[in-house]
A = this chain, B = another copy of it.
Amino acid sequence: MVNENFTATEQKIIEAAQLEFSEKGLSGARMQSIADKAGINKALLHYYYRSKDKLFEVVFKMLFRSIIPRVEEILNKEIDLFEKIRIFVETYINLIQSSPQIPMFIMHELSSNPKRLSQMVALAGLNVEKSPLKKQLDELIASGKIRPIEIEQLMINILSLCIFPIVAKPISMTVLYNGDEKAYQQMIEMRKKSVAEFVINAIKNTDYEELT
């Protein structure tokens, strides 16, 4: 996850910081605690990253930059849309599951400081309107194979279904499963397949076969 001409110590720091920031947020995080987690001392921590804010900036940008390419790669692949949705959902849920605090971290900090994002998006060069995915989607709609839907709505629907249940783990686990961790994990596991089918059914045009 962490790489890119970083020394071992820098890596330890970044990982520790990522964990601490995810758990506590920017204001809740403690430099001492980050140092402890990284197995170093506060002086060294400041030796590498002048201030908490600078460190935060680095961690945040790195995370963001590590996610976007993976998403784009799948979305612009030249495969059948339904297959693409299946692969995306499975890959993405796995990704979030492997570091479940990250979406919360990103969302929370962006929500208290929205400016942070704009530069990064510009930097990442994202543009949904001009993506191959949009073209693919529009063709399928034109041919009547799927119901009309805007690409933005489809994307946000898929992302919602993947991210929310994991970000809101305490809520879903407690409210839906009375705190049963296993039942919750089982649900997430099922979702790696079921979310894609849910989405596909939602957009598939059922009149199509008759029309052909």
Q: Which residue of B127, B159, B172, B178 is within 8 Å of A156 (Cβ)?
A: B172
The closest CB in chain B to the CB of A163 belongs to B164
Given contacts A179-B118, A187-B153, A191-B153, are A110 and B28 in contact (CB under 8 A)?
Answer: no
A190 and B107 contact, CB distance less than 8 A = no
Would you call the interface of chain A mostly helix, strand, loop, or mixed? helix
B25 and A174 contact, CB distance less than 8 A = no
Q: Which of A118-145 contact B (CB under 8 A)?
A: 118, 121, 126-128
Q: Which residue of B25, B128, B153 is within 8 Å of A108 (Cβ)?
A: B25
Total copies of the chain: 2
Mark interface residues in A84-118 (1 if CB within 8 Å of B CB, else 0): 00000000000000000100101110111010011
B-contacting 9-mer, from A8-16, A31-39, A54-62, A193-201:
A193-201
What is the CA–CA distance of A27 and B28 in the complex, to the nearest angstrom?
Answer: 5
Q: Name the distance in Å between A139's Cβ and chain B's nearest Cβ.
A: 20
Residues in B neighbouring A107, C-beta threshold 8 A: 104, 167-168, 170-171
Interface check A40, CB cutoff 8 A: no
Q: Top 6 nearest A-B pairs by Cβ distance?
A: A160-B164, A202-B202, A27-B28, A110-B170, A206-B206, A114-B170
